[in-house]
Amino acid sequence: MDGINNVIELDNVTKDYGDFKLDGITFSVPEGSVCGFIGQNGAGKTTTIKLILDMIGKDSGEIRVFGESVCKNNAGIRENIGVVFDEMGFHEFMTGRDISIMMKNIYKNWDEKAFFDYLKRFSLPSRKKCGAFSRGMRMKLQIAVALSHNAKLLIMDEPTSGLDPVVRNEMINIFREFVVEEDHTILLSSHITGDLEKLADEVVFIDGGRIILAGNKDELLEKHGILKCKKDDFGKISRSLIISEDYNEYGVQALVNDRYSANQLYPETIIEPAPLEDIMIGYVNAGKG
């Protein structure tokens, strides 16, 4: 990505827990983009995010955020990052007003007015204990905090998981607003690929602690396809095009890595666009073969 500033860069990062290993993780997130970090539960998304945030230490490799190594524990880096986790990080007895007082002592750029404006916009009561909030309200509270200290980077771990479609769509619109400014960037981990199809510019697939696919979302969607044919015809298809296949009573359905070449070579087959979910499942299944 020559000529593009990368806000996040991981170079051959390893973290070994014995029963699970992040193995040589390498990817980057360009400034001004939304990067969808996709994988099954347990694939290594949360571990990777904790490494980026310096919440846990890596065994080897290099991690840079805003061009600086995270191992320096640079407070300036933290000022510019908003974080949203699957679980709310505030004590359940705290109200929005309590949280604002606390954040004012944590972030130099804390904007109290912006925070209460977000609470109002999200229909979150400022005097109610957050322990009484629904899951959707808790996620909105974390997002309000993340957006209220002028962060340039949002890092979010499964922020839409468990939310109903209406609230998920509202979250996606909020994230879109955030990245309207060119120096704002999002790394969003999720296993809900439909949300990322609407929002992401870049996608990174992780499975079993390894990056299995990364690139521009539109290019990946354009490139891959679902090929359908009879079982007798499948043997004619070049294996170099096939990522994985699934046999059923009607024939064979296969994920191909170049749908236009496949269409030219095998015009008698049906080749359809592949959504992100099918691409992810196809590569995961290929790894099991």
We find that the CATH architecture of domain 6-218 is 3-Layer(aba) Sandwich (3.40)
pLDDT higher than 50, residue 1: no
Q: Which DSSP state fits 238?
A: -
Q: What is the pLDDT of residue 286?
A: 87
Report d(CA 13, CA 6) in Å as an integer: 16
This prediction has a pTM of: 0.89
80, 74 in Cβ contact below 8 A? no
pLDDT higher than 90, residue 159: no
pLDDT higher than 50, residue 2: no
Q: How many CB atoms lie within 10 A of CB 228?
A: 16
How does residue 171 score in pLDDT terms, banded at 50, 70 and 90? Answer: confident
Percent of the chain at pLDDT exceeding 90: 64
Model confidence pLDDT, tens digit, residues 196-249: 888 999 999 999 999 999 999 999 999 999 999 999 999 999 999 999 999 988
Domain ranges of the chain: 6-218, 225-273
Please give the average per-residue pLDDT across 144-149, as a whole number: 91
pLDDT higher than 50, residue 158: yes
Model confidence pLDDT, tens digit, residues 67-113: 988 876 666 788 899 998 877 788 999 999 999 999 999 888 999 99
Instruction: Please state which of the ranges 38-47, 68-77, 123-132 shows the lowest mean pLDDT.
Output: 68-77
Query: At 197, is the secondary structure helix, strand, or coil?
Result: helix
pLDDT higher than 90, residue 170: no
Report d(CA 150, CA 173) in Å as an integer: 18
Report d(CA 220, CA 257) in Å as an integer: 9
